[in-house]
Amino acid sequence: MLGNMGHLMFLLLTVSLYFYTVQLQKKGEKAEKTFQDLRCEIIKRSKELWATPETWEHRKETFRWMQSTYGINLYHENK
């Protein structure tokens, strides 16, 4: 199988694509964890970020907009 140059190139390409896919999967998991951490931080700090009653109303509008536009739930920490 390794005697033919085409087979060798195909094998190298397959192995390279496998490792590239593993690398992309790790990056995706890291990005998902970072996203969840930021989302939870916003939820925990919402009383600090929107301290007055006027801004609290803007918070509700912002949370509704994030939910409808991007599907990001900022009302609860768990999905």
pLDDT in tens, 49-64: 888 888 888 888 889 9
Asked whether the beta carbons of 74 and 42 are under 8 A apart, the reply is yes
> Does the pTM exceed 0.75?
no
pLDDT in tens, 21-60: 999 999 999 999 999 999 999 989 988 988 888 888 888 8
What is the C-alpha to C-alpha distance for residues 59 and 28, in angstroms, rounded to an integer? Answer: 29
